[in-house]
Amino acid sequence: MDKLRGITYFVHAVRAGGFSAAAKALLVTPAAVSKAIGLLEQELGFELLHRTTRNLTLTAEGADYYEHCRQLLSSLAEVEGGLAGTHARPRGKLTIGMSPLVARYCIMPALATLLARYPELELRATTVFFSNEMLLEGLDVFFSVGPIDNPQLIARKVAQTRMLVCASARYLTQAGTPREPADLSRHRCLTYLRAGRLLDHWRFRRDGEEQLVLANSVVIGDDHDALIAAAAAGAGIVRVPDLLTHPLLSSGQLIPVLTEWRAPESPSIYLIYRKSQRRNAKVQVFVDWAIGVFEALRQTARR
């Protein structure tokens, strides 16, 4: 068991890039991580890591050993997940990756119902900003904008969003309401910067007609939630997915405009998990619950 602990701490330290970050994820002290890896190195008879005051780097032997350890822990997790699927009551840790918008406006507000139904679950939520299958390492499930083409993964579509152009009542009173997409060039627009790419070309479609508008980017940000907060406070017009901001829309903090126009690039939301976890009770109850959460959001949005 001590050797397995050392292997686990070693893999986490490499992934996290240091003892402190690994210790935080493992809920232990950095000294415990360092000691476990040191004992593992003594048993193996060679160094796994070059240690400096700023970072860790793998030795040649450590890099080879890391790949074997990573595969070992992954296989062990899959075996345990399959066995866990045979239990009637899901229990234990489930790690979920999701964007801040999905977390804040969809999953976290509904989480009490899942925990009430399955009190032995321990949920850990981590931020995932972009859809990337490599992010699944260390996660049990994660929400992706768009599917991922990987034969080892299952992508369950949980929602089809609609992009809405919105502003606060205060802003619309002061600046007027745009009647055509072209009017946006005369308004203050809050635009999203994603992975270095400014999403300032807003496409609209209505009855076969299509317009492409260059938003007047007065505010640019890489935090969608912050842009939404600024728009709700009257800073300008923002483009948002309807299901991910429904509480602000239903409360009137954001008011949609140009509603007769549709955005052809409105994203779908998928829940991604490994095929090997199809019988994992924790994963399956979360997937079924999440599908219900988004269905309830869709029903509410139609009213």
- Give the per-residue pLDDT at 220: 94
C-beta of residue 84 within 8 angstroms of C-beta of residue 92: yes
Domains of the chain: 2-84 (1.10.10.10), 92-159+267-302 (3.40.190.10), 163-257 (3.40.190.290)
User: Can you say whether the dihedral through the CA atoms of 277, 280, 284, 285 is positive or negative?
Assistant: negative
DSSP secondary structure, 244-295, as one string: GGHHHHHHTSSEEESTT-B-TTPPEEEEEEEGGGTT-HHHHHHHHHHHHHHH
Measured CA to CA in angstroms, residue 286 lies from 81, 96, 122, 147, 152 at distances of 14, 10, 12, 18, 19
> What are the residues facing 58 on neighbouring strands?
49
More confident residue, 147 or 8: 8
Residue 235: what residue type? A
Mean pLDDT over the full length of the chain = 85
Q: Is the pTM of this model over 0.75?
A: no
% of the chain with per-residue pLDDT over 70 = 90
Average pLDDT value for residue range 207-233: 91
Identity of residue 185: S
pLDDT at 133: 47
19 — phi, psi (to 5°)?
A: -70, -40
Q: Which residue has the higher pLDDT, 227 or 300?
A: 227
64 vs 87, higher pLDDT: 64
Please give the average per-residue pLDDT across 138-164, as a whole number: 84
Burial class from Cβ neighbours inside 10 Å (0-12, 13-18, 19+) for residue 166 reads: buried
Task: Return the pLDDT at 217.
Answer: 92
Q: What is the pLDDT of residue 182?
A: 93
Nearest to 244 by CA among 282, 192, 286, 200: 192
Are the C-beta atoms of residues 105 and 232 closer than 8 Å to each other?
no
What's the pLDDT band for 84 if we cut at 50, 70, 90? low
By C-alpha distance, which of 240, 249, 243, 288 is closest to 269?
243
pLDDT tens string 256-296: 999 999 988 778 888 988 888 878 889 989 999 998 888 88
H/E stretch holding 195: none
Instruction: Tell me how far apart the alpha carbons of residues 41 and 300 are, in angstroms, rounded to a whole number.
Output: 57
pLDDT at residue 134, rounded to an integer: 45
Tokens standing for 221?
Answer: 């940000």
**Exposure string for 182-210, b = 16+ CB within 10 A, e = fewer:** eebeebbbbbbbeeeeeebebebeeeeee
Q: How confident is the model at residue 165 (pLDDT cuts 50, 70, 90)?
A: very high
**Total Cβ atoms within 10 A of residue 125:** 15
Residues 6+ away with beta carbon under 8 Å from 150: 133
